[in-house]
Structure 1
Amino acid sequence: MKKLKKVLTGSLLISLLVIATASTWLYSKIDGALPVLNGEKTVFGLKKSAIIERDKQGIVTIKAQNRSDIAVALGFVHAQERFFQMDLLRRNSAGELASLFGIRALDYDKSIRKHRFRERARAIAAQLPRQELELIKAYTRGVNQGLKYLNSSPFEYLLLQQEPVQWSEEDTILTVFSMYIDLQYHDGRRERTLGLMKAVLSGDVYAFLDPKGSIWDAAIDGSQFSQAPMPTDAWPAASSFNIDNKNRNNTKLANLNKDKYQGDHLPGSNSWAISGALSTTGSAVIANDMHLGLRIPNTWFRASFEYPATTPDRSITAKDLIKVTGATLPGTPNIVIGSNGNIAWGFTNSYGDYSDVILLTTNPDNSQYLTPSGYQNFTTHKQIIAVKGQKAQEITVTETIWGPVIGKNHQGKLLAYRWVAHDKEAINLVATELEQAQNVSEAFNIAARSGIPSQNMLIADKHGDIGWTIIGPIPNKNGMIGETPKSWASGENSWQGYLSSAQYPKIINPENHRLWTANSRVVGGDMYKKLGNGGYALGARSKQVRNNLFALKEFDEQSLLNIGLDDEAIFLQRWQQFILDDVLTKSVVAKDKSFKQIKKLLESAPKLRASVDSVSYRLVRNFRINIRDSVFLELNKSLNKIDEAFNFKSIRHQIEVPLWQLINEQPENFMMLGESSWQDLFIKALEVTIADMTVNQTLDTATWGQQNSSVIKHPLSSALPFLNHWLDMPSKALAGDSYMPRVQGKSFGASERMVVSPGYEKNGIFHMPTSQSGHPWSPYYGMGHSDWENGIASSFLPGKTLYKLTLLSY
């Protein structure tokens, strides 16, 4: 017994020693992945020394004697703070996520490999002008030096049991390609969806479901497009679909889709500007909040650069010092949005038409396709996809002279994809010149030469001028190319290169001294024809921003931030009234006492807001979604059976227009209602809405904040749930939603909010979710997040220096 006791005691001590040793090793590895904040480091590639200062939030100020050294230092910082994020961005566009995450990422990698972005990135990097290539090379040297100076690999690689791969010049190009994937369609889903609808629906039904305009239009040039009239014939044609008009009942709709109450969140943004005539200082002011998926770490990394703007034959003076502050994108060497003291600029996704699906004419065995020069052979490219823990897989990418083959339509005809992202014009570093631009006109010139996913760009300058244009390439289209697949075989349809700087749409200093964009159509006429329609958002946000701008005659930074924080539900006010007038009629309320509570609740909320404590907002919003899904359920199911590529989400941002007309006119010839009458549909949708809201609770506790609580997670925490508390941001009820300036979902919303007037940056505002750091043990992990949550006007400029690192050249 005594001997057994000794053995057990010894085993216990050994086990404790092993656990302690393993814990110490694990701690040292995670701690070793923290960035170097203070001291001196010698870095290869610097021409002179560079200084990296950080304030209490980790916001970086980089000071150097030339732009190249700024790039080295920024690469160093990005690698130390955000290398795993950068790695995901390059792997995302290269179709190489399966090598990190295994089989679960394989299908996605296969879909992306059609674009061969790794090869395209190499080709683009090879043809960049010398100055731009040198900047990328300097940044790359900085990244790899920053990675080298970490005592351990970033902690994510420890969890994945992998080693990070060094950065290369092409990886910076791949980072921008990831933004193309995020901001534009990489698979032509919208055009394929519209193409199917146009093919199987009558012309008047198609026009009705794909409206060009509505009462929500708020273009900055005042142009208006009319909506299509209600179809007069029975629609859809019964012969086109296999519709069972019997026993169709949508009361179980709420349980069919667990994400059905998710907002209509598409990558986008808000931006507005006022000229110096309306500001308190005489300098123009711009506000910008870019809407993206929210995760840890955040998309952007805040930085400020200071470097001389002199040429070699001039002496350095104080006035030659460039000071530019804003947001950078880890993986790239420039300020994306911000202010340089002379101009300030911001972006919103433009949703112009930057791609086309091409209907191929092939020979009987699909081995050749018809071109203006006759039949040609397809070209093929082998792609090897590494898969963690499994044998690598090989796929073949088939291409045409226009782009890759992306599938077949509902008739079995092959489709090819023409996309700006496939051309060398897609990416360059011209936008870096914005750091030194002096006025709106200079910024216009830079925008027209820049290679980024095309964006609405607003510019404000210190002279008081404001302007709008597109930054990024715009294809020069020839022929009848629109929103649906077309044949290019005859040569009548084609792209004739890209628009020149002189051809770019632009507006400067409108008479009303105000500009605004929010992903909806911005202009009409010839400018609209140049841009096309790639899936504009409904104009509800734009209209609300515009109206808020015209409600004031003078602005400072706080008043412009308030516009971005506006959560009034103007879009849903007519839906609230519809429920009160057309659903909760006297006879309906008399039959069901529970409806009296609903009517009283809605009548007591005359000004509907997406506030965290609002029950009324949640009710009206979810009722609309249930109505929408019920009305179009049968149509969607039928179209999806014809072609699995049909994607309702790609067109639903404009579906409000026909939906509102349908529920108000209630046409008897609409054959796909799914209920015995319109009134039955309204009542059942309301019943489903209330049933969903009152699961295990009373209606008065079912607030919007309860449904709209943040879920902002690290990419690894879902796979490793025991790390949730350690990695993820705490969940918090958030105000805002899709169709208002304060765009906010559970894991979607403003990836930053910026308000700044060039020359008055000290009064500027900037906050963003999560924090600067990607490491949970960082002293500033999560710092600044609460400002973003609560809409607090935190400072645009970095604060007092708390950490200082000097990078020395060899």
Structure 2
Amino acid sequence: MQLFKKLLLGLLLISLLVIATALTWLYSRIDGALPLLEGQETVFGLQQSATIERDNQGITTIKARSRNDVAVALGFVHAQERFFQMDLLRRNSAGELASLFGSLALDYDKSIRRHRFRDRARAIVAQLPDKQLSLLKAYTRGVNQGLQYLHSSPFEYLLLQQDPVQWSEEDSILTVFSLYIDLQYADGKRERTLGLMKAVLSADVYAFLDPQGSIWDAAIDGSQFLQAPMPKGAWPSAAGAGVKPNYIPSDKSGYAANTANRYTKSENDVKANYLGDYLLGSNSWAVSGALTATGSAVIANDMHLSLSVPNTWFRASFEYPQPSNSTAAIKENIKVTGATLPGTPNIVIGSNGHIAWGFTNSYGDYSDVILLTTNADNSQYLTPTGFKDFTIHKQIIAIKDQKAQEITVTDTIWGPVIGKNHLGQLLAYRWVAHDKQAINLTATELEYAKSVDQAFAVAARAGIPAQNIVVADKNGDIGWTIMGPIPNKKGNIGETPQAWHLGKNSWQGYLTPAQYPQLKNPTQQRLWTANSRVVGGDMIKKLGNGGYALGARSQQIRDHLFAKEAFDEEMLLQIGLDDSAIFLQRWQQFILEQVLTKQVLAQQTLEKNTSFSQVKALLEESIELSASVDSVSYRLVRNFRINLRDSVFLELSRSLHSIDNAFTFNSIRHQLEVPLWQLINEQPQNFMMLGERSWQDVFTKALILTINDMSIKQPLAEATWGQQNSSTIKHPLSNSVPWLSYWLDMPSKQLAGDSYMPRVQGKAFGASERMVVSPGYEENGIFHMPTSQASHPWSPYYRIGHSDWEQGVASPFLPGKTRYTLTLLSY
């Protein structure tokens, strides 16, 4: 017995020692992945020493004697703070995620490999101008040495049981390709969707469902496009290629319990249904110096993206001598502050004391789907010079813990084959992202531009996914143009697939800088963009329509700008924080006047002892509807609109998807607000896919569904917007390792804001930054950023600044007092 006790004690001690050793090892690995904050390190590739200063929020100030040395230091910092994020961005566009995550990412990798972005990235690097290539090499050296100087690999690789792969110049190009994938259509889905609709619907129905304008238009040049009239005949026509009415008459028993149950979903279904109409995009607005006390213009910008941990951007400030090739008469030191994108060497948005600039996604038409004419066995396709063989490229996809797979990608002279249409015709894809003009480092020149005109000159030569750029300068000037390549299109190339083999349709290179649309110093002294159509006339013909947002956000921002005659930074910030639901006010009135009729108010069929009369009283209490966290009325009106829209277009959407599974309702959901509003107000009897016996039935059942969903496990009066719109900003690995989510994710918080208002905010979507700044007066500037600078949960900066972003507190644009200094020495 004594011997047994001794053995047991010995085993226990050994087990404790093993556990302690394992925990010590684990701790040292995680702790070793923390970035260096102070001291001195010798770094290869620096011409002279550089310093990296960090303030109390971790905002980085890099001081160096050349722009290339700034790039080395920035690469060093990016690698130490954000290497896993950078790795995901390059793998995302290269189609190499399966090598990290296994078969879970295989289908995505296969879909993205058709673009061969790694091959294209190599080709772009090979033709970069010497100065840009030198800068990219400097950044790459900094990244790899920053990774090397970590005492252990970033902690994510420990969880994935992988080793990080070194950075290369082409990886920075791949990082920008990931932005192309996010900000433009990589699969032609919108054009294919519209093409199907145009092919199978009558011309008047297609025009009605694809409106070119609405009452929400808020272009900066005042241009207006009219919406199409209601179709006169029965529609969608049964004679249209395969689209058949699917009228489902309601039962005649009124709103009995069985009917209500048809319109009740599970709690998980409810959450999925109400994610919202969020559009990758942004807001940006500016006022000229004529409206400010300083005489300098002021710009505000908030870029809307999916939110995760860490945030997309990394805040930084650069200080370096003006480049020798600058045309400035007097040389001066450059100091530029703003947001960088880990994986790239430049300030993306910010201010340099002379100009400040910001972006919104332009949603012009930067791609085209091409109908191919092929021979009998689809081995050749017709071109203006005759039939050609398809080009076949082999692609090897590495898969974690599995054997690699080989796939083939089919190419044409115009671009890759992306599938077939509803008639079985092969489709090719022509996209700016496939050309060498797609990406360069010209945007770096914004760091030392001194006027709106100089910024315009940079914008017209820059290679990025085409953006609305709004510029404000110290002289008081403001301007808008497009930054990024704009194809010069010839022929009948619009929003739907077309054949190009006759030579009538083509791209003839890209617009020259002289051809770029631009607007400087408008008479109203104000500019605004928010992903909707910005201009009309000849300028919109150059840009086309790639899926503009409804103009509700733009209109609300515009109206705020015209409500005052003088502005400062705080005033512009408040515009961006506005959660007033101007867009939904008419929907609120529609429910009160058209849905809650006397007959409906007499019905007593709702759950949780709620009556329609109580619903009416609730809506009438909210005179000023807003997406505030405590608003029940906003949630009700907002969700009712979504349910009604989905109900009205359900059968049409199903029919179109059954003809071609490439049809995506999501790609056209914003434009459907216009025909939807006309339908529910005119209530035509010739619409053959209503799905209910009357329009009133559709309205009432959408309202019942909305109320029932909101009343799951609670009374309606407690179903606030903040309850539905609680943040879920997570680390990419926290779903796979749930027990780490407490340390990795941002705490959930009820947030104000939504889709169709300046304060765009969803559960994991919204302003990836908020910037308000006047060039020359950066000390008065404001900058918000979710999550924080840090990606390591043990960093002293983890979550610092996140609460300012949540609450809209006016936190400083410039870095504060230095807390840590790291000196990088040259060899």
TM-score tier (shorter): over 0.9
Counterpart residue number, 2:530? 518
Paired residue secondary structure (1:635): helix
Aligned pairs for 1:180-259 within 5 A: 180-239=180-239, 240-246=242-248, 252=262, 255=265, 259=272
Counterpart residue number, 1:451? 463
* Equivalent position amino acid for 1:278 in 2: L
Aligned pairs for 1:696-735 within 5 A: 696-735=713-752
Counterpart residue number, 2:256? none
What is the CA distance between 1:3 and its match in structure 2?
1.9
Paired residue secondary structure (2:410): strand
Paired residue secondary structure (2:365): coil
Change (3 A) 1:310 1:390: closer
Counterpart residue number, 1:493? 505
| Residue 560 (structure 1) aligned to one of 565, 572, 584 | 572
Task: Report Cα offsets for 1:251-298 as digits up to 9, x if no partner.
Answer: 646636752111111210000000000012100000000000000000
* Equivalent position amino acid for 2:132 in 1: E
Counterpart residue number, 2:365? 353
Counterpart residue number, 2:287? 274
* Equivalent position amino acid for 2:506 in 1: S
Counterpart residue number, 2:607? none
Counterpart residue number, 1:336? 348
| Residue 606 (structure 1) aligned to one of 623, 643, 665 | 623
Contact 1:454 1:470 in 2 (8 A): yes
Counterpart residue number, 1:527? 539
Partner Cα distance (2:376, 2:511) in 1: 38
Contact 2:189 2:664 in 1 (8 A): yes
Task: Point out where structure 2 has 5 or more consecutive residues left out of the alignment.
Answer: 252-258, 605-609
Contact 1:253 1:630 in 2 (8 A): no
Partner Cα distance (2:249, 2:133) in 1: 65
Partner Cα distance (1:181, 1:609) in 2: 33
Counterpart residue number, 1:597? 614
| Residue 289 (structure 1) aligned to one of 302, 315, 319 | 302
Counterpart residue number, 2:428? 416
Aligned pairs for 1:626-641 within 5 A: 626-641=643-658
Q: Does 1:806 align with 2:823?
A: yes
Task: Report Cα offsets for 1:6-35 as digits up to 9, x if no partner.
Answer: 121111111111111000000000000000
Q: Does 1:322 align with 2:334?
A: yes
Task: Report Cα offsets for 1:146-187 as digits up to 9, x if no partner.
Answer: 000000000000000000000000000000000000000000
* Equivalent position amino acid for 2:4 in 1: L
Partner Cα distance (1:16, 1:637) in 2: 61
| Residue 418 (structure 2) aligned to one of 406, 430, 447 | 406
* Equivalent position amino acid for 1:519 in 2: N
* Equivalent position amino acid for 2:102 in 1: G
Contact 1:254 1:626 in 2 (8 A): no
RMSD, aligned CA: 1.4
Q: Does 1:738 align with 2:755?
A: yes
Partner Cα distance (2:63, 2:325) in 1: 19
Task: Report Cα offsets for 1:719-776 as digits up to 9, x if no partner.
Answer: 1101110100000000000000000000000000000000000000001100001100
Task: Report Cα offsets for 1:46-91 as digits up to 9, x if no partner.
Answer: 0000000000111000000000000000000000000000000000
Counterpart residue number, 2:58? 58
What is the CA distance between 1:245 and its match in structure 2?
2.4
* Equivalent position amino acid for 1:265 in 2: Y
What is the CA distance between 1:244 and its match in structure 2?
3.7
Partner Cα distance (2:4, 2:249) in 1: 74
What is the CA distance between 1:246 and its match in structure 2?
3.8
* Equivalent position amino acid for 2:70 in 1: I
Paired residue secondary structure (2:485): coil
Paired residue secondary structure (1:449): coil
Partner Cα distance (2:4, 2:704) in 1: 68
- Worse-superposed segment, 341-350 or 308-317: 308-317
Partner Cα distance (1:310, 1:621) in 2: 52
Contact 2:76 2:144 in 1 (8 A): yes
Change (3 A) 1:254 1:339: farther
Partner Cα distance (1:309, 1:316) in 2: 11
Contact 2:760 2:767 in 1 (8 A): yes
Give the number of aligned pairs: 809
Partner Cα distance (1:315, 1:447) in 2: 19
Partner Cα distance (1:213, 1:203) in 2: 17
Moved over 6 A (4+): 248-251, 312-317
| Residue 302 (structure 1) aligned to one of 315, 321, 328 | 315
Contact 2:30 2:155 in 1 (8 A): yes
Partner Cα distance (1:491, 1:283) in 2: 50
Task: Point out where structure 1 has 5 or more consecutive residues left out of the alignment.
Answer: none
TM score, norm. by length of structure 2: 0.97
Partner Cα distance (1:224, 1:285) in 2: 27
Partner Cα distance (2:160, 2:249) in 1: 51
Q: Does 1:264 align with 2:277?
A: yes
Change (3 A) 1:316 1:154: farther
Identity of aligned residues (%): 76
Aligned pairs for 1:29-44 within 5 A: 29-44=29-44
Change (3 A) 1:542 1:148: same
Contact 1:310 1:320 in 2 (8 A): no
* Equivalent position amino acid for 1:617 in 2: Y
* Equivalent position amino acid for 1:168 in 2: S
Q: Does 1:659 align with 2:676?
A: yes
Change (3 A) 1:604 1:132: same
- Worse-superposed segment, 230-239 or 306-315: 306-315
* Equivalent position amino acid for 1:286 in 2: I
Contact 2:247 2:690 in 1 (8 A): no
Partner Cα distance (2:562, 2:326) in 1: 49
Change (3 A) 1:701 1:427: same
Contact 1:308 1:316 in 2 (8 A): no
Counterpart residue number, 2:254? none
| Residue 751 (structure 1) aligned to one of 763, 768, 779 | 768
Paired residue secondary structure (2:52): strand
Q: Does 1:536 align with 2:548?
A: yes
Change (3 A) 1:368 1:296: same
Contact 2:246 2:691 in 1 (8 A): no
